[in-house]
Structure 1
Amino acid sequence: MTNPYSIGDLSRLSGVNVETIRYYEKVGLLPAAKRAGNGYRQYDDASLDRLAFVRRGRELGFTIDEIRELLGLADHPDRPCADADRMTRAHLDDIEGKIRDLQRMRHALIEVANCDSRTAAHCQLLQALARPGLN
């Protein structure tokens, strides 16, 4: 094994915390690490690369199951990427929906921001929360 890394080394190099690395092993995103004579996990460069792939996928908002599917495609580079394209389009649709929701929330908050009332009895936010259909 070239460049054996302890789980702490792998964590430091990848930016993924130790508990998360163990979890990724448990759910099969990372293969089980080889064990040194003392029982400590030992990882190699391939594990570091795979962990970087998983981390980037999570940063982009893909689920564990989606990442598992993407890893399956990455592990078989001769397969067509139509599944990856389908997942990307579905993920983009989801993100665009969330952006629309956030824009609606932003607009609603702009409407009630900077309330001139000096008391909670006339607070625009409190009134909007009590009667959401009015704003």
Structure 2
Amino acid sequence: MSYKIGELSKLTSCNIETLRYYEREGLLPPPPRGNNGYRYYPQDSVQRVRFILHAKSLGFSLADIAELLSIQVDKNASTCGDVKQIAEHKLATIARKISELKEMYRALEKVSAACDGSEASAEHCTILQALESDAARAEKHL
């Protein structure tokens, strides 16, 4: 069984342009084309696209996904440890991002708490003043 791109899109809930992009990036092998020029994706493309989408939902980059797909295709060429190393690297990246977001949250929370939120003119808004003073400090370092 094979699927035209629109059918594959519906089966996987993946946008047609995204499927074409995955094909250009080498994540999805180029399917054979019929005499009419349509792409006809083989049955295993459904599982492959779902794999890609699930990996993306876990935060893996397209480069990571390409590596995972190559391991999936030839499982005997790699070890479970190789796959775990990719996952652990992604976990460390996510942990760093969480730390950065927490820091941003605390800084914005502090600035926001200093603002009384009144209906007065924004001329004396403490949030704008904090942003302006930080911008001025950064400009001095240039």
With the shorter chain as reference, the TM-score category is 0.7 to 0.9
For residue 38 of structure 1, give the secondary structure of its aligned residue in structure 2: coil
Shift of 1:98: 0.8
Partner of 2:94 in structure 1?
A: 95
For residue 41 of structure 1, give the secondary structure of its aligned residue in structure 2: coil
Structure 1: gaps of 5 or more residues: none
**What amino acid sits opposite 2:36 in the alignment?**
N
Partner of 2:48 in structure 1?
A: 50
8 Å contact 1:6–1:43 — kept in the other structure? yes
Partner of 1:120 in structure 2?
A: 122
Q: TM-score, normalised by structure 1?
A: 0.88
Partner of 1:73 in structure 2?
A: 71
Partner of 2:84 in structure 1?
A: 85
Query: 2:133 & 2:84 partners in 1: Cα distance?
Result: 43
Q: TM-score, normalised by structure 2?
A: 0.84
Shift of 1:121: 2.8
Query: 1:102 & 1:22 partners in 2: Cα distance?
Result: 33
Structure 2: gaps of 5 or more residues: 138-142
Name which of structure 1's ranges 125-134 and 78-87 shifts more when overlaid on structure 2. Answer: 125-134
Query: 2:88 & 2:130 partners in 1: Cα distance?
Result: 36
Query: 2:79 & 2:56 partners in 1: Cα distance?
Result: 22
8 Å contact 1:73–1:81 — kept in the other structure? no
Shift of 1:65: 1.2
Determine whether 1:34 maps to 2:32: yes
Alignment length, in residue pairs? 132
Query: 1:33 & 1:90 partners in 2: Cα distance?
Result: 32
Question: What is the root-mean-square deviation in Å for CA atoms of aligned residues?
Answer: 1.9
Percent identity between the aligned chains?
41
Determine whether 1:10 maps to 2:12: no
Partner of 1:23 in structure 2?
A: 21
For residue 60 of structure 2, give the secondary structure of its aligned residue in structure 1: coil
For residue 75 of structure 2, give the secondary structure of its aligned residue in structure 1: coil
Of 128, 131, 137, which aligns to 1:129? 131
